[in-house]
Amino acid sequence: MFRDRETDTRKFTSGAGLFPGDKALPVREAYDVIMSHLPAPVAEKVPLMRSLGLVLAEDIVADMDMPPWDKAAMDGYAIRSADCQKSPTELKVVDVLPAGKVSKRAIGAGEAIRIMTGAPVPQGADAVVPVERTRGIGDLVHILEAVPPGAHIARKAEDIRTGDVLVRGGSVVRPQEIGIMASVGYHAPKVFRRPTVAVLTTGDELVEVDKKPGEGQIRNSNAYSIASQIAAIGVPYAYLGIVPDVAEALTARLEQAMKAADVVLLTGGVSAGEYDLVEDVMKSKGIEIIFERVNIKPGRPMVFAKSPDKLLFGLPGNPVSTFVTFEVFLRPALGRMMGNRLMDRPVVDAELSVNFGKPQARDQYCPARLTWVKDRYIVAPLESHGSADLRSISQANSLLMIPAGEGPYPVGRVVRVMTLDEDQQMSGVMGA
């Protein structure tokens, strides 16, 4: 979110002191605090195909020339260009050379060798004639046009030379990088390890999705929403179920989670109610609370904590709050833990399609629809009934960002918008 975005940084530092005695951190400050406490990425070697989507922890260096020899770039005939300066020219075919074989014959005057794409050019030849520009008759071939030296030959090392750096460390591995690593023998590249995440949800009112809620109960949507957000960035997670609002049960499950993963993510139980036990349980385990409030709407009650070798996040129980705080804080944090500093959601300028907003004491992230119209982005805020309104966030492809204390905004006002869809700028929005 804050990657190279000085304007965003200046706008989203307001809010401190708006509530007397409040300890809520401004959004930017909370973001920076989290990033400053992250462990350094851990490098490991993995089988080539397991590196897809990970970040390289080393440069990829060529161990050979590509092509490793002068090779035929077309199916056809290897010839001496000096023999083919008039057309048609008749040559004797003295050998057939498939890819993967080397001819033991050198081409002499008046001779040709049938050659396939990729095969090494035989000694004595200095050009290849595509088969469609020839006519074969028995062991003779008629070359139907004059041929210049070097025609249809891919020269040794014209693509890659031994020692060339082909991919820099810090690059995300895509299918293209998989191919180039395979070509130069990187069967086990060194990459930054993905962190692991354990997910807990707290609340006596929750039942799992396959259960019919009873009176006063709701289905546990948070666990599945947050797990999907984690999975979408390629990070493995373990869902450890619903924890009742009982200190002993939460303590036991928290201990299990800390043994299972690098990062523990809890939803619910972080407000100021009698049954909000997350902070007390963390403190009882000697876990350091770094901060417990952020000046963001939705999502103000957010806990960030740390033990010697684990990070812990307590997110609000309302599903929209959980979704937003993950996108703003946890997505970039998990990205950096695996060496990927580009995991922050892109932020773009867009024109408001309607009058919107009123001053709030917190930085607002409002569900919205972003579209590309002619030469600019247009953003339309979605109707929302608050931080429990899952329908509004399911219809959103972006979050309209309104700094604390600003608004109302008129139609046409240029605002900052965080994009949410992975392919939004390339297809979904651009094609709207």
Q: Tens digits of per-residue pLDDT, 237-278?
A: 999 999 998 999 999 999 999 999 999 999 987 765 554 688
Q: What is the CATH number of the domain that holds 179?
A: 3.90.105.10
Query: Does the pLDDT at position 401 exceed 50?
Result: yes
Distance CA 251, CA 47 (A): 38
Q: Are residues 238 and 119 in the same domain?
A: no
d(CA 397, CA 371): 9
Same domain flag for 229 and 293:
yes
Query: Which two three-digit tokens encode residue 102?
Result: 């080397």
Domain shared by 247 and 198, yes or no: yes
pLDDT value for 271: 64
- Of 101, 136, 154, the position where a domain reaches its end is 154
Domain membership flag for residue 1: no
* Mean pLDDT for the stretch of residues 204-232: 91
324/241 same-domain check = yes
Q: DSSP labels for 283-352?
A: HHTTPEEEES-BSEES----EEEEETTEEEEEE-SSHHHHHHHIIIIIHHHHHHHTT-TT-SPPEEEEEE
Predicted confidence (pLDDT) at residue 89 exceeds the cutoff of 50: yes
pLDDT in tens, 119-162: 999 999 999 999 999 999 899 999 999 999 999 999 999 999 99
Q: What is the CATH number of the domain that holds 301?
A: 3.40.980.10
Question: Whole-angstrom Cα distance, residue 81 to residue 126?
Answer: 6
**Range(s) of the domain holding residue 105:** 71-154
**pLDDT bracket for residue 77 (50, 70, 90):** very high
- Is the preceding omega at residue 88 within 30 degrees of 0, hence cis? yes
pLDDT, tens digit, 9 for 90 and up, residues 276-301: 688 889 999 999 999 999 999 999 99
Cα 122 to chain centroid, rounded: 46
Q: What is the CB neighbour count within 10 angstroms for residue 86? A: 9
pLDDT digits (tens, 9 = 90+) for 24-65: 999 999 999 999 999 999 999 999 999 999 999 999 999 999
Average pLDDT over residues 3-13: 40
The two three-digit tokens of residue 350, written as one number: 């867009």
Quote the pLDDT of residue 321: 93
Q: Are residues 252 and 132 in the same domain?
A: no
Furthest CA-CA distance within the chain: 97
Residues 101 and 123 placed together within one structural domain of the fold: yes
CATH of the domain at 370: 2.40.340.10
Residues 327 and 204 occupy one common structural domain: yes
Domain boundary (278, 309, 337) is at 337
The answer to whether residue 82 is domain-embedded is: yes
- The pLDDT value recorded for residue 423 is 54
Q: Are residues 207 and 333 in the same domain?
A: yes
Highest mean pLDDT among 12-16, 41-45, 318-322 belongs to: 41-45
CATH code: domain of residue 90: 2.170.190.11
Question: Same structural domain for residues 105 and 170?
Answer: no
Q: For 325-337, how does the pLDDT look when each residue is reduced to its tens digit (9 = 90+)? A: 999 999 999 999 9
Based on the domain organization, do 167 and 265 belong to the same domain? no
For residue 68, how far is the Cα from the chain centroid? 34
pLDDT value for 234? 94
18-24: average pLDDT? 56
One domain, residues 198 and 187: no
Length of the chain: 432
Same domain for 110 and 120: yes
Domains held by the chain: number: 4
- 54 in any annotated domain: yes
> How confident is the model over 364-373, as a mean pLDDT?
96
Tell whether 342 is covered by a domain.
no
Tokens standing for residue 305: 């904590």
**Confidence band (pLDDT; 50, 70, 90) for 1?**
low
Which of the four pLDDT bands, split at 50, 70 and 90, describes residue 11?
very low
Spatial distance between the Cα atoms of 208 and 230, rounded to a whole number of angstroms: 19
Element (DSSP H or E) covering residue 226 = helix 221-232
Please check whether residue 393 lies inside any domain of the structure. Answer: yes
Among 289, 315, 337, the domain boundary falls at: 337
Cα 331 to Cα 24, 186, 187, 274: the distances in Å are 21, 29, 29, 30
